[in-house]
Structure formats: structure tokens, C-alpha cells
Structure 1
């Protein structure tokens, strides 16, 4: 019996992000909010990595992000996580998700050059 021809297998390229990296802060915030809301539709209490991964998939720069821990120092789940994207080195897109729901806003970058105050976790994946 002759071997059957192998089916051509090719990985489909990932879709190009619909997000424009040159967008205004208000347009970037609208996309940031839409991406997170879409993620929350499938999981209303996501881990920080889930949110970061969704934002990266939409075209946001992971290197410009900050994220608070998912757990307290006592290894308990936090009530909420905060995450941000430094936008054009002057504005911050900031989101919070947790037991009180989801909110997002834009704010000027802090004097530290960061967007979040307090302890953040390393985004190293």
C-alpha cells in the first residue's frame, strides 16, 4: 500500500493587531478598555497575566506595562488587581478589576516615570 500524501500543514499567521500604536491617549484608552472588557466576558476575575496577555495580543507593548500581584503576602487572593500601560511616555492607561468590577482611566505619568504606586510584580513571561 502506497503511503498517502501528507496533508499540507501550515501555521496560520497571527492576525495583525487592530490597534494603532500612534493613537491618541483617548483612543488608546478606548481600545485598552474594550480589550479588558472582552477578556472579562470570559472570566470576570482574571489573573494579572491573563489581562497582560490580552493587552499584548491587541498590540500594547508589554515592556510599558505594570501589574500588581494576584496574591497578598499571606498567599491569599487579592480583592483586585491593577494594571497599566505607559502611553507615549507621558500618559498612563490604568485599569482595575476585582470584587467591585472593572474601571479604567487615563492619568499623567508619575514623577517616578511609572504609572502605579506601590508594589508591582515583574512581567517576565
Structure 2
């Protein structure tokens, strides 16, 4: 004859105590297997959650004569957009003068004519600044409706713009 499990003969309160004791024993055994069962040490600095660094908003772009064309593109673009938003937006000289005022060297610049060959306002002005074998290139006018700037390679023949450009003699 098979004897019933001993808990089957005990009273309900005794079974509850045995069940709680079994659960407690299981928790203790699991704690013993996973470590010393003591409190976890505080996380080290490398384990701590990273705190977001205080970000400083970047200042306005600045001319970097030792930088590349790409380094100076943000300033070139900003200056061109300021001229585009002014009453002189259709005047090539305004772009050259503003770029020179921002630090760019006039001797490295080229600009297209303000007027077409038949005397109409140019549909687009092109202007550039050469940086070694690269160029900052800009275009603005009614055909684009905004300023467009980019970095491109200098021409093998020298300069940045194709065709005849206006002399920068002022």
C-alpha cells in the first residue's frame, strides 16, 4: 500500500506553514546560487547610466583660411543667403563684397555678369571662391528662386566658373 504524502494528513494551517517554508527555502537556495545574497554593490562609474552632456549650440559659422572648401561652406552659404534676402540680390558685386567682408579673399573669387548679353537681368548669378583644387560654388536668381551652394572641383584650366566672368576690380 502506498502511503499518502505527509502533508495530506496535516491540518490546513500546517500545510500553509510548510508551503511558505518551501518557498522561502527556494528563494534562499536561488540567492545562494546567484551570489552571496547580500545587497548588490553600487554600480561603478563605468556602469552608471550616462548623463546627457550639456550641449552648447554651435555659434555662427566663421571663416577658416586654413580649412577646406567644405569647412567654409556653411559661412559661404550664410553670406549668400543674406545677400539673396537683400535688395541687392541681383547684383554680383553684392555677393563678392559680402564674401570679402566675411573673410574670403577677392583674388580667389569669380562672379558672373549681372546682365545678359542683350541687357536683361541675369536669370541666375554664379559666384565662387577657390580653395586650392576645390571651389565653393554659389548660384542665386529668379531661375532658382533661392541660393544654391556646393563644393566642387576647380577647373583644370584654373578658376571655378566656366565661360566669361566679370572682372573683380573694385
Q: Taking structure 1 as the reference length, what is the TM-score of the superposition?
A: 0.80
Aligned Cα RMSD in Å?
A: 1.3
| SS of equivalent to 2:151 | strand
Higher strand share: 1
Structure with the bigger RCO (C-alpha within 8 Å, sep 6+) is: 1
Match of 1:66 in 2: 110
Match of 1:106 in 2: 151
90, 93, 103: which one aligns with 2:133: 90
Structure 1's consecutive aligned runs of 4 or more residues displaced over 4 angstroms after TM superposition are none
Match of 2:168 in 1: 123
Per the TM alignment, residue 31 of structure 1 is displaced from its structure 2 partner at its CA by 1.1
Q: Taking structure 2 as the reference length, what is the TM-score of the superposition?
A: 0.60
If you compute each CA radius of gyration, which structure gives the higher value, 1 or 2?
2
Match of 1:55 in 2: 99
Structure 1: gaps of 5 or more residues? 1-17
| SS of equivalent to 1:84 | strand
Distance 1:54 1:78, change over 3 A: same
Per the TM alignment, residue 44 of structure 1 is displaced from its structure 2 partner at its CA by 7.1
| SS of equivalent to 1:34 | helix
